[in-house]
Structure 1
Amino acid sequence: METYGDRLGGQFWERFTPERAERAWRTWLADGAPRWVALTGDELVGFAFARASRPSGTHEPVRDLELHSLYVLAAHHGTGIGQRLLDRAIHPGEPAQLWVADGNPRAIRFYERNGFRPDGATDDGATFNGLSALRMVR
């Protein structure tokens, strides 16, 4: 909500309920892929997970591994937590792909520092709850 709350629009937030979030997480966790969380004390401040790549909208995967999600609370940006989460979810230098909101320059720069580059594939928001996105690969 911190990062994309103002970009997703009212319709998304009307549909977004704790029950819906729980169903989504249960689905994501069902494949058994490792998930990583970052704690500061007993506060959850970030998470990341990668999985076998899947088609996204009309785009077939171009790598076997996909970073599905990496999120760090804004108060912890710049602390190295995001880097540690990424390095555990996808080993440094390992070929992978990810989708990132094209209006998130901070995230794009982070992934570029980690060897990812846009490959030209984009999504107009149909797949990502209204957020336009671009695919990055390494």
Structure 2
Amino acid sequence: MNRWQIRPLTAEHTRGLAECHIACWRAAYQGLVPEHVLAAFDVERLTQRWERDRIRNPGCLHVAVVDDTVIGFAVAAPNRGETAVAAIELNAIYVRSPWHGTGVADELLQAAVDPAASCSLWVFEENPRAQAFYRKHGFELDGARKVEEFSPAMQVRMVRPGR
């Protein structure tokens, strides 16, 4: 496998990010998110959404790229919620399954979230693999739970204090 590069999202990789996003959701959430939700993803619409996010939130979206193909991405931004428990919220981090265990997710997390800043995230309760990854990086469950907006799946919050 070729070595990846981590970089801020640019317009040239927005569509690749959308394709990666869809592939990762379909692989990771089969049986957890209803099939009709996974099937309804539209690459053109998602590309437009990611492009709007890229323009509105410069520096908040990072991609891992190999030979011009997006193999993973991370999104983190200042936490603006009224009940924010950390300065930064990690909104998403996904890596295509052939790249699991290679370290690309570790590098995406480092690029997206300054370790000096406190950070929170929401993860599916029924996703022990993701929770183990976050624990490895200093995140702990804080007891908060909510229903995911696209499915009946429960999410739990994890928090990492700043260093």
Identify the TM-score tier after normalising by the shorter chain. 0.7 to 0.9
Q: Distance in 1 between matches of 2:140 and 2:110?
A: 17
- Alpha-carbon shift at residue 25 of structure 1 (Å): 1.6
Two-structure CA RMSD over aligned residues (Å): 1.9
Q: Which residue of 2 aligns with 1:26?
A: 51
| Identical residues among aligned pairs (%) | 33
Aligned partner of 1:119 in structure 2 is 142
Deviation by residue 1:34-84 (Cα, 9 ceiling, x = unmatched): 3211122232110112101133xxx72211211111100111111000000
5 Å matches for 1:6-85? 6-29=31-54, 30-55=56-81, 60-85=83-108
CA contact (8 A) 1:100 1:136 kept: yes
Q: Deviations over 1:79-120 (max 9, x none)?
A: 000000001111235311111111111110111111111111
The separation in 2 between residues aligned to 1:26 and 1:4, in whole angstroms, is 24
Bigger Cα displacement from structure 2, 85-94 vs 27-36: 27-36
Q: TM-score with structure 2 length normalisation?
A: 0.72
> Does the CA-based 8 Å contact 2:120-2:157 persist in structure 1?
yes
CA distance in 1, matches of 2:68, 2:58: 24
Deviates more, 1:93-102 or 1:78-87: 93-102
Name segments (4+ residues, structure 1) moved above 6 Å.
none
Which blocks of at least 5 consecutive residues in structure 1 are unaligned? Answer: none
Q: What is the TM-score of this pair, normalised by structure 1?
A: 0.84
More divergent stretch after superposition (7-16 vs 62-71): 7-16
Segments of 5+ residues of structure 2 without an aligned counterpart are 1-25
Matched residues in 2 for 1:85 and 1:14: separation? 27
Counterpart contact for 1:36–1:85, Cα < 8 Å:
yes
| Closer/same/farther in 2, CA of residues 71 and 22 from structure 1, 3 Å limit | same
Please give the secondary structure, in 2, of the residue aligned with 1:16: coil
Alignment size in residue pairs: 133
